[in-house]
């Protein structure tokens, strides 16, 4: 098997996703045989299997984000009653 000191150190540190990424880098940037690439591919699969699952939020609440954005715009004075963008108002006054 191809060896890479950086990838092996990442594995030893338990940084499995980074190690898998490094192995991909090794596979793409060295003149390797198909058999060596296949072994690296299998080893990357092993690295991913050792990685802990990523905890993702259950559901993205877009309305909550929109309310937070509106509140922030009002707080910093960017809110417009009819949804008119202040920046476009400034441009329009300069072109007239």
pLDDT, one tens digit per residue, over 9-28 is: 999 999 999 999 999 999 98
Structure tokens at 20: 């898998």
By the 8 A CB rule, do 37 and 23 touch? no
Q: What's this model's pTM, rounded to 2 decimal places? A: 0.56
- 22 closest CA partner among 3, 35, 50, 1: 3
Residue 2 has a pLDDT of 84
- Could you give the CA distance from residue 56 to residue 64 in angstroms, rounded to a whole number? 17
């Amino acid at each position: 098997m191809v060896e890479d000191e950086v990838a092996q150190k990442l594995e030893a540190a338990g940084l499995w996703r980074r190690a898998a990424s490094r192995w991909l880098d090794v596979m793409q940037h060295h003149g390797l045989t198909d058999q060596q690439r296949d072994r690296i591919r299998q080893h990357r699969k092993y690295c991913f299997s050792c990685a802990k699952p990523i905890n993702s939020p259950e559901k993205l609440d877009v309305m909550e984000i929109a309310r937070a954005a509106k509140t922030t715009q009002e707080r910093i004075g960017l809110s417009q009653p009819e949804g008119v963008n202040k920046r476009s108002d400034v441009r329009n006054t300069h072109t007239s």
